Amino acid sequence: MTMRTIPLGSSGESVSQLSLGCMLMGTLTDEATSFGMLDDFVDKGGTFIDTANAYCWWNNRGSHGGESEALIGRWFHRTGRRDDVFLATKGSGLIDDLDAVWDANGNPDWVAARQHFDGAGGDNLRRSVDDSLQRLQTDHIDLYYVHVDDRSTPIEETLQALSEVVAAGKVRHIGWSNVRTWRLERIRQLAVANGWPVPVAVQQQHSYLRPRGGLEGNVSVVTDEQLDYLRAERDMTLVAYSSLVKGAFDDPAKRDSGVMEPYRGPDSDARFAEVDAIAGEVNATGGQVVLAWLLAQCDPAVVALIGPRTREQYDSAWPGLTLELSEEQLARLTSAGR
């Protein structure tokens, strides 16, 4: 098969339109399975792989993260395929006090965690980039995201530090994640005004489902306003995480789970019904239909990021890349719901 590629913002680079999210590799996904998925992804023409320094502290109590980056570093060392991939990682979302982010039942406390991210201060980002390079066993990162927008640190301080690591050759391009649209525009304006690198990608939670009305406090989910902004500002590409909503398109039981919290309501019910109908028409899974729909979007174009835990989940996604939906089916999907 031929992997589709798209330009990544104003970077001058093209990346595979499917990105392999490596969040669970090295924790819930063992090394042999992880290596197998990475090998297959690149063999099939995939280039864009995604991780973060925080992955995956919440799967191992006492961990500060770094397991995913370290596994990718071992894969680079084993295969020599560093130059075959466009490598993205992130900083600013490490936990600064592990004792504060686990509840009495031994579960990660995400409300507390959001109060204990290490943030996007200049010294921290410079240190985090060096630590990631060491774990990844490479001399450069192709795309470095601010993982969690840090409103307690002046944007100028963050951008100055990112400019320094780009000038040093440690990072080639920068991006932002989990960020409000107005903040993204302020970041962009300050970068242009000061001659600092401009973000070329924004990684947000985005799917075929639309966020429910009245959703407050969630900076991670793409809104209509943010889509409109990205249509106008073509120098940034949307990288969509949780695009398959953790299997909810394939398993109706998951449509009642916590992952649906940003989307729950009649609009999503109507969209699930349309996906189910078209999946039956084309003899595909719901997830494959949604992936085909996402990859067909061009206004704005979307990179779909999948984060499989198992080889079965990974293999299940691939038919969505070659699934051909008719114009009528694409229009039905787009117009379903409100």
Residues noted as catalytic = 55
| Coil, helix or strand at residue 289 | helix
Contact, 232 vs 300, CB < 8 A?
no
Neighbouring CB atoms inside 10 A of 89's CB total 29
CA 329, 244, 217, 112: dihedral to nearest 10 degrees? 170
Query: Residues 200-222, buried b or exposed e (16+ Cβ, 10 A)?
Result: bbbbbbbbbbbbbeeeeeebbbb
The closest of 312, 283, 320 to 208, measured between CA atoms, is: 320
Cα–Cα dist 252/11, whole Å: 39
Q: In this structure, what token pair is assigned to residue 193?
A: 């005004």
Q: In this structure, what token pair is assigned to residue 206?
A: 């985005």
Cα–Cα dist 331/109, whole Å: 41
Within 8 A by CB and 6+ apart from 10, the residues are: 198, 200, 234, 235, 236
The closest of 275, 244, 274, 276 to 260, measured between CA atoms, is: 244
| DSSP bridge pairs for 173 | 143
Cα–Cα dist 255/269, whole Å: 9
Cα–Cα dist 228/81, whole Å: 37
* One-letter-per-residue 3-state SS of 204-230: EECCCCCCCCCCCCCCCECCHHHHHHH
Q: Which H helix or E strand runs over 10?
A: none
Contact, 147 vs 54, CB < 8 A?
yes
